[in-house]
Amino acid sequence: MDRRHKAGILAESDGNPNEHQKSLLKRNLYNDLKTYKSLPRVYGCRLVRYNFASNSKFGRLFAGGASLQTFPRDFRAALTCGLLHDLDMVNCHMHIIAHCCRSHGIDCPLLTEYIACREAVLSRIAMANGLMRDDVKSVILKVTYGGRATYNSRPVHDTWLGMYAMECKRIAKQLCGSAESPHADLVTKSKTSNPLFSAVSKLACGVENCALGIALSILPTTTQAAALAFDGFMLCGDMPAGLQERMTDKIYEKIGARLPFVEKAIR
């Protein structure tokens, strides 16, 4: 978590304003906006370079410096509302991990259940634990990558979630956990606290980035990519009917994974 986002969370936590953290947040946003505004223009667009994480040639592409990708969501919305279209891959990493499991003959019944019945699972866990839907969504994503089933340091109780955590550990071992595993090469010798799940995350991010490239390759000439945003992108120009479906079909044609797109409201 970078210091801008951490400052925002600290400033709003428990409803107690933290003036120092708010000041830090405002100052960093102001400096980033000045930097973004000063970027060189190419054909009327600000030039933003994207790179893989250090010492990596695979995974997600991160913007170097100030960009629409790095701005907080509400700040980005204020800049782009009414100007851009925000497209995301629905339940992206779950679909990708399930695709990897199918490709290598790995059973993943609970992951498959979550993909098929996502809203029912989120609603049940949210109601039982007094949480919001998106809170539970973040908890399940954390568990998918080896994290604990907690929210704000409070345990999230659910029998299915406990079984799902065990399934995710098994999937990680089968995908990356031994020399014979299909993606063992993604496990690094770095000091990361959980190298096995870090490898699974890197695998999913790599497929995600590949899928985005395929989707962008079929954009019509009247539509341009304005920014990459991890599991999606922001587009400017026309939004032809059926574009999301054609993107999904093209990705399936190229890599065999069906990743549905949805346009999210910018607000």
Mean pLDDT of 102-121: 98
pLDDT digits (tens, 9 = 90+) for 156-180: 999 999 999 999 999 999 999 999 9
Query: Which distant-in-sequence residues (6+ apart) come within 8 Å of 117 by Cβ?
Result: none
Query: Which distant-in-sequence residues (6+ apart) come within 8 Å of 4 by Cβ?
Result: 25, 28, 29, 32, 72
Q: What is the C-alpha radius of gyration for the chain, rounded to an integer number of angstroms?
A: 20
- The Cα–Cα gap between 42 and 184 comes to 41
- The Cα–Cα gap between 232 and 263 comes to 10
**Cα torsion for 248, 250, 256, 258, to the nearest 10°?**
0
- Say if residue 8's pLDDT is above 50: no
Residue of 266, 246, 267, 248 whose CA lies nearest to 257: 248
Which pLDDT does position 10 carry in this prediction?
A: 46
Which pLDDT does position 24 carry in this prediction?
A: 56
- Say if residue 249's pLDDT is above 60: yes
> Mutual orientation of helices 195-216 and 243-255 as an angle, nearest 10°?
120
- Say if residue 13's pLDDT is above 50: no
Confidence of residue 231 (pLDDT cuts 50, 70, 90): very high
Which pLDDT does position 28 carry in this prediction?
A: 80
Displacement of CA 200 from its chain's centroid (Å): 14
- The Cα–Cα gap between 169 and 150 comes to 17
Q: Can you tell me which residue has the tokens 């490898």?
A: 199
Which pLDDT does position 213 carry in this prediction?
A: 95
Residue of 115, 148, 114, 151 whose CA lies nearest to 132: 151
pTM of the predicted model as reported, rounded to 2 decimal places: 0.85
Number of H helices, E strands in the chain: 10, 10
Mean pLDDT of 10-30: 57
Mean pLDDT of the chain: 88
Confidence of residue 7 (pLDDT cuts 50, 70, 90): very low
